[in-house]
Structure 1
Amino acid sequence: MTNIKEAKKRLYNLVYDPPRNGPTLWEIGIPDWTAAEYFVPDPNPTLMNQLYINHGEKFRQYSLWDRYTELYPEQDLVYTVGVSNYQTNWYFARVNRKTGNKNYIPTTWKILFDLDDIDEQGNYTLQLALASATDAELQVRTNDPSTETPHFSTGLIGKDNSIARHGIHDSYWLHTITVPGSLLLTGTNIIFLTQSRGETPWRGIMYDYIRLEGSSESIDKLKQKHRNVSVPVRKP
């Protein structure tokens, strides 16, 4: 028999610094590991669960995956930074579109945003956090949706099944994506987010939080510029 002496260990303060490469240009959502802050539609009246009427967890209602098709029958979701509101314009679950009897196809969402000045030699960063994924593949393209090879792909990920079980989060995924300044434009830019796996209504993802960060090189240049500013000396 082994006796283990009881002991106490002081951990002090544990500080988590989330990854960041540059200043925030825009953001969508709240980084809280869930999709609860996004738009959850009212259920189909014929499928309504009475337990969740006027309930804080409206996402528990049945068959909300098909409500996306009813709200976006032909064109997918378009979110315009500075105009749209993630609480009313960003669907809580990234689902497939129903096109017929038990036929579901992939969807592509768009994020539109304006940039006044581009650091073409620098790198921008897209922080993409997912609150859940089920047999899904998220592809990211910048300003050109026709490129065969996406700028970034998660590959096939997730076995959470959150959409089918009426959840709002599960396994957490964080992707830090480098966006070369050469891919961006002065003026309006578009990020295309494609969930490329169709076939069923339950293959999809839930977003936690999305943030575009400015070029880290531009920050360094700005700091250097301020260091080099000479301060005039007042003559007595």
Structure 2
Amino acid sequence: MYPNEDLVYTIGVNDYSKDWLFAHVVRKIDSNMYQGTTWQIKFQLGKVDKSGTYKLRAAIASATLAELQIRVNDPHANRPLFTTGLVGRDNAIARHGIHGLYRLYHVNIPGTRLIEGENTIFLKQPRCTSPFHGFMYDYIRLEGPLEGLCSS
């Protein structure tokens, strides 16, 4: 699906039904060589609560010998904000669609990692020894801080 570059999805511009692929897989670069991929979700924030904690919820419908690394606004950060580590052996991407094991991850994003204006969440799948290594996403949601949203 993305032979030359990774998926870039911009909130408010792209249409998830046309522009988002449910399976985050590797890229074939040679007859028997594959490359990990980093997808981007771009979004605008008008105001950032620097003292608050934002919550990224990533629901995975399937994983096959993959790793999800999440970075925010710095694709080359030495350490990801979050990593699943190596997960999954259900092979739903290749052929066993009903065998996917559901996983739900809650990632805390400090407000200090976000900026007013354009932000980017980087979803990296670096494991790449087979064309079937990857994830099938169910949903991804970013929530703002709860502090200050409710009054008594």
- Residue 94 of structure 2: SS of its match in structure 1? coil
- Residue 131 of structure 1: SS of its match in structure 2? strand
8 A contact 1:120–1:182 mirrored in 2: yes
Give the RMSD, CA atoms, in angstroms. Answer: 1.3
Shift of 1:77: 0.3
How many pairs were matched up? 152
Q: How many Å separate the matches in 1 of 2:96 and 2:13? A: 29
Out of 92, 96, 100, the position equivalent to 1:162 is 92
8 A contact 1:131–1:171 mirrored in 2: yes
Structure number with higher relative contact order (C-alpha < 8 Å, ≥ 6 residues apart):
2
Superposed counterparts of 1:97-108, under 5 Å = 97-108=27-38
Out of 33, 39, 58, the position equivalent to 1:109 is 39
**Residue 73 in 1 paired to residue 8 in 2?**
no
Shift of 1:164: 1.5
How far does the alpha carbon of each residue in 1:54-94 deviate from its partner, in whole angstroms, 9 at most, with x for none? xxxxxxxxxxxxxx2xxx22210000001111110011211
How far does the alpha carbon of each residue in 1:200-233 deviate from its partner, in whole angstroms, 9 at most, with x for none? 101111000111001111314xx2xxx6xxxxxx
- Residue 17 of structure 2: SS of its match in structure 1? helix
Percentage of pairs with the same residue:
52
Structure 1 residues not aligned, in runs of 5+: 1-67, 228-236
- The structure whose residues are more often helix, as a share, is 1
Structure 2 residues not aligned, in runs of 5+: none
8 A contact 1:131–1:169 mirrored in 2: no
Shift of 1:144: 0.4
- The structure whose residues are more often strand, as a share, is 2
Please identify the structure whose Cα radius of gyration is greater: 1
8 A contact 2:51–2:111 mirrored in 1: yes
